[in-house]
Amino acid sequence: MRRFFGFRSAPAFAIPPDVASDDVPPSCPRCGVSLVEDARYERYRVCSACGAHLAIGSRRRIAALVDEGSFRETDAKLFSADPLSFTDDAPYRLRLDEQRRVTGQADALITGTAGLHGHKIVLAALDFAFMGGSMGLVVGEKLVRAAELARERRIPLLSIVASGGARMQEGMYSLLQMAKTAAAIQRLHAAGVPYVSVLTHPTTGGVFASFASLGDVIVAEPGALIGFAGPRVVEHFLGRPLPPGSHSAEFLLEHGMIDAIVPRAELPATLGTLLRHYTRSDARHDGPGYELREPAAIGHD
Amino acid sequence: MIDVAEHSAVAATPTAWDRVKLARHSERPHFLDYLEALTTDWVELHGDRAFGDDRALIGGLATFDGQTVMVLGHQKGNDTKENIARNFGMARPEGYRKAERLMRHAEKFGFPLITFIDTPGAEPGIGSEERGQGTAIAESLLTMADLGVPSVAVVIGEGGSGGALAIGVADRLLMLENTIYAVASPEACAAILWKDAGRAAEAAETMRITAADLAAFGIIDEVVPEASPAHERPKDAIQGTGAALARHLRELTAEFPPHDAGAIERLRAARYERFRRIGAWREAEPTTRHSDEGGISAPRNGRSGEPRESAQRSG
Ligand SMILES: [Zn+2]
């Protein structure tokens, strides 16, 4: 396993194998082209042939996003105390143990500090592999701690989400994380510290309807399923199938709900350019103020 | 609808599912019944100033306990026709945007905020997605969390998920005895947990959604008693609710006068801390079960005690 994360202090766990890395599908589930020896797939979990954005574990995602070796994990040892003593078919506690064993993570959100194109950031990444990226009390608490750290240090917060919504097994403790995270983001806003939210496949429910929708800038990955109510819920409510694309990143862009769609491989450069606007120290007012560029060079994407 | 005879048989110790049925009872008093009985000088304020006016989430100014307050509430219908007009109490994005607008209005003029929660949840339609249901709820949460006036919320029927919480980020949260507040409906929980919506009664029990459960967790501040279910004795339920609201609002406005800037900053800080503490976690590996209990955070001020789990764990 590559040691991208360069822990200075001892890591909470041995760095786990990336969840998505061990079961490399032989071919793209969308276009069928082989993914073996596909470098773009290897780094970004994106199919070179058709551009499909496939599932990516949060540690691999972080490695593909931040400056190499710059990630320092925070609060890696926060565990749910299972306040409902919840049991459905099996005790929630045992389910958590199983998820921890499989993913090597204490819960669904990884937080830490990192460099991104040289900009210091606080990073929070949800891992869909851990109970569907659902927001329980540990996810809420860690997101709030990340927001508070960003506020204290006055460095931008970046969250990357993939979540089915609430953690049913934590009942109202789960629901109230929506209020708790929104309150922390409000404080970050009030302090004038930038918050960028990245929505990936899938983003629904309580995560979408709280901190993930409160970014100063909100970007999404192409083709990501995003919505308040999941498609099955909406179909059940309507009693008929949904029109294609009604819960997509493209749909949200068209309806004015997000700022941009950014392919995964372009995210580091795009965020680097964006963050420069909020953190620049090179502003000068001693010249003409701008450099005229040749019209041809301006171009359009 | 609930079978009254069946209910009477279990009235001594209603199950969680009994409470669900009572909370949803069509003859239970709804928001406008409370408003009419408890306030005067009602002026409804309509519209989100962007798209439309939501009839499922309404608000306006009224006189309550001698002062002007901003009142918001989900409104269910009393019959099928009215329920269709009210969208069964399921608000759309324009409802949450109106609510947020009225919260800011309350803050601007120093009016305390009272909200009445009674919704199965936010509407999950395509139009709601198009107009940003998630964003509208998130922004309402954010605004209410930081509102510069005291606020009290009361669950008078169903507290359904994010659509309820969007007007529930208050300094005090009350529930009537036969109401529920849940992360998802028992039917939805059963469908998710067991792929069987028919096990809703079981889910209702497991999810800990009654007023008594949430009081034990320290998540709510007070249970307003219903000596008889509210649909049988609506005046009693409304009167009890009014008395509790007035008491909490007086305490809050005495401690945090709306026009005292320093007090309002303290109010904001207290509210942040109130929600900040909600959780129950351990900051160590779960394998060492005796030495690592110090990290458990009681839900709120430790007042209603530790999460139930901690006692078992340390045993
Ligand atoms: Zn492909």
* Per-residue pLDDT at A201: 95
* Per-residue pLDDT at A279: 83
B208/A172 touch (CB, cutoff 8 Å), yes or no = yes
Work out the minimum CA distance from B79 to partner chain A, whole angstroms: 20
State pLDDT tens for residues A212-266: 999 999 999 999 999 999 888 888 888 888 888 888 999 999 999 999 999 999 9
Distance CA(A119)–CA(A121), nearest Å, equals 6
* Per-residue pLDDT at A54: 93
* Per-residue pLDDT at B299: 40
Residue of A nearest to B280 (CA): A81
Chain A residues with beta carbon closer than 8 angstroms to that of B281:
78-81, 137-138, 141
Going from the C-alpha of B186 to that of each of A168, A206, A268, B133, B198, the distances in angstroms are 10, 17, 42, 22, 9
Amino acid (one-letter) located at B74: H
How far, in whole angstroms, is CA B84 from its chain's centroid? 22
Query: B154: which strand partners?
Result: B116, B174
**Contact criterion met (CB below 8 Å) for A51 and A35:** no
Residue with tokens 């306006």: B60
Average pLDDT over residues A119-147: 97
* Per-residue pLDDT at B286: 60
Going from the C-alpha of B259 to that of each of B106, B112, B149, B255, the distances in angstroms are 12, 11, 9, 12
State pLDDT tens for residues B72-81: 999 999 899 9
Work out the minimum CA distance from A47 to partner chain B, whole angstroms: 29
Among the partner-chain residues B129, B183, B206, the one whose CB lies closest to the CB of A227 is: B129
Distance CA(A143)–CA(A124), nearest Å, equals 7
pLDDT reading at B9 higher than 80: no
pTM of the model: 0.89
**Contact criterion met (CB below 8 Å) for A139 and A107:** yes
Give the ipTM: 0.88
What is the number of alpha carbons within 13 Å of residue A159 lying toward its C-beta?
34
State pLDDT tens for residues A45-94: 999 999 999 999 999 999 999 999 999 999 999 999 999 999 988 999 99
pLDDT reading at B54 higher than 50: yes
Which of A159, A175, A199, A233 would you mutate first to test chain B, the one with the most B CBs within 10 A? A175
Chain B residues with beta carbon closer than 8 angstroms to that of A256:
132
Residue A50's H or E segment, with its range, is none
State pLDDT tens for residues B200-211: 999 999 999 999
Q: How many angstroms does the Cα of residue A35 sit away from the middle of ligand 1?
A: 8
Going from the C-alpha of B16 to that of each of A33, A149, B209, the distances in angstroms are 53, 40, 7
Give the pair of three-digit tokens for residue B282.
């351990």
Residue B158's H or E segment, with its range, is strand B151-160
Among the partner-chain residues B183, B281, B283, the one whose CB lies closest to the CB of A171 is: B183
